[in-house]
Amino acid sequence: MEQLQTGRNITKILIANRGEIACRVIRTARKMGVQSVAVYSEADRNSMHVDMAIHPGYGFLSESMEFAELCKQEGIIFIGPPSSAIRDMGIKSTSKSIMAAAGVPIVEGYHGEDQSDQCLREHAGRIGYPVMIKAVRGGGGKGMRIIRSEKEFQEQLESARREAKQCVNDDVMMIEKFVDMPRHVEVQVFGDHHGNVVYLFERDCSVQRRYQKIIEEAPGPGIKPEVRKKLGEAAVRAAKAVNYVGAGTVEFIMDSKHNFYFMEMNTRLQVEHPVTEMITGIDLVEWQLRIAAGEKIPLSQEEITLQGHAFEARIYAEDPNDNFMPGAGPLVHLSTPQADLSTRIETGVQQGDEVSVHYDPMIAKLVVWAADRQAALTKLRYSLRYYNIVGLHTNINFLLSLTGHPEFEAGNVHTDFIPQHHKELLPSQKDTAKEFLCQAALGLILKEKPMSEAFRIQTQDRYSPFASSSGRRLNICYTRKMTLKDGKKDITIAVTYNRDGSYSMQIEDKTFHVLGDLYSEGDCTYLKSSINGVASKTKLIILENTIYLFSMDGSIQIGIPVPKYLSSVSSEGTQGSAIAPMTGTIEKVFVKAGDKVKAGDSLMVMIAMKMEHTIKAPKDGTIKKVFYKEGSQANRHAPVVEFQEEGSDKKGTE
């Protein structure tokens, strides 16, 4: 790779970011022979991105106008746009008026100085519900709420303001018309110091949860070449209007007729930039460095071509069955599909790392490319099945059900996709197929074999799932009972050892003929099994009291029951109490001892993973004790209040 040809030679860059994007920038810097410096916080001291470079300082500064200005004053090249462009595009109300003047279509709204509740409520009424209120300096769904009627306006406004104050220290709000079932389509642009601006086509990021993107693709499905050209040209006009330099993304909302309206401009590289790299063959980070050093954009608009189709799936530590609640914890087991020219894994973590409560819960981005959308989708689903994680909840199974949904396959995407198809995407827990239970039982028997032969001579293990084993007798068939847990349900399996080394397993009224063995590949254990003549290969992980099975049919978790007196507080014990959904800081407390509340009333607001969560009363009752005050830390699943026992009013409130 040739050295940068510039007015200024960049030899070292400091990366004011963390995790996977820091690793991504370091990769290109290395390729170009540019030294990189990483910054880290205490929470990140042992992270992968810190391992890869040297470490002074701290900061999340990619869109800080003040930081860009300071760099300029100190004679340091800021790899990004001029601070004036960050300012103009960072304040959504300013950007709207600049865009309107530049002939970029915008959605009607209120971006005024009067921030009184009364004024905001009047404008919401004038624009017409549903409206969206959002923090003028917010981003990533922070300080943003959709309000569907006047009666919920006040509560939602206050919640949005608090979240914005917490996240960006600025609670100035704007209101705009909410386009129902819109698509979120964004255009990648690049500008240089010589007045040139080009577009690198669009990405569709419509499928979201919690106002955050979960899966992105390029190009946008169903977008015709003439609409693509119009989108690109509007994005270029937007960038030129603020004398834009470097990589930027112009976000539009698009209605069902493919009319589009400017939403905002992100004055930085986006999380989802790899899908654009895949369809254009351009290293966007390399372009950023070249342009920052004073070079012209390497290609003209005509030379930038679109080939094939790419998807990015964001793999998050979160529980889709618990309203996508972010999680944290150790990556006890992590294995990924094989990376190659058309499969990229962008991550900042490795096996053994902890997903921290201090940052966004994204574990990785899985990016795939193929010649057309259908082929890319098939490849994405295949790769997701090879992304195996144990130690915390992830959204991998959810991504599989999302990408396999017929409407997603047809390209009928919009921002309400997940709520609209919620039932099919998150079906209620079904019983695990008996064949998988047989695999789990077989895996346990085979894992137990070498240890138990010696162990059983010395002792009877009272806590083994094989509670009624009668001890092995040579040349005699014998049967043992085994209990496994499918969700909350205990499953009894009668396992008969046959003389030929196979097993007969009876679950309820069905009997299965089972044989197989374990083998190692890399540092993983696989179970090769045949159940009633059907052969399969499954990755097997047994950790604490859970058996994990990963195969091309998906992933399954089967519990190994723990005797009641050995388990800590059983999860059933927390029902009917109000608990913290995750570890975080209590931002606001609405109740005190003695207050009467109804089911669904807001008790507290907590901030965790950079998001606001409201803890609501699970039942009607009287508050006996409040365990937290504003500003204190609460751990996941800790009770936040105690209710008086019914009929205990005579004791009086404390």
- CA nearest 205: which of 286, 276, 304? 276
φ and ψ at 98, to 5 degrees? Answer: -65, -40
Positive or negative CA dihedral for 599, 604, 609, 612? positive
Active site residue 268: yes
Calculate Rg over the CA atoms of the chain: 28
Tell me which DSSP letter residue 630 carries.
T
Please report, for residues 109, 122, 156, the alpha-carbon distance to residue 115 in angstroms, rounded to integers and kept in the order given.
Answer: 14, 11, 15
Q: Which residues contact 187 (CB under 8 A, 6 or more apart)?
A: 199, 200, 201, 202, 203, 231, 232, 234, 235, 249, 250, 252
| Spatial separation of the C-alpha atoms in residues 250 and 600, rounded to whole Å | 39
Strand partners, 559: 485, 546
| Spatial separation of the C-alpha atoms in residues 364 and 518, rounded to whole Å | 30
Q: Residue 434 belongs to what H/E stretch?
A: helix 434-458
CB 187 within 8 A of CB 235: yes
Please report, for residues 223, 227, 276, 348, 458, the alpha-carbon distance to residue 260 in angstroms, rounded to integers and kept in the order given.
Answer: 12, 9, 20, 35, 74
The stretches of 191-349 forming alpha helices (DSSP H) are 225-241, 273-280, 284-292
- CA nearest 483: which of 468, 498, 473? 468
Which candidate in 24, 183, 209, 268 is catalytic?
268
Identify each DSSP E strand in 339-421 by its residue range.
Answer: 343-347, 354-355, 362-370, 388-390
Identify each DSSP E strand in 498-545 by its residue range.
Answer: 503-507, 510-521, 524-531, 534-543
Residues that are catalytic: 268
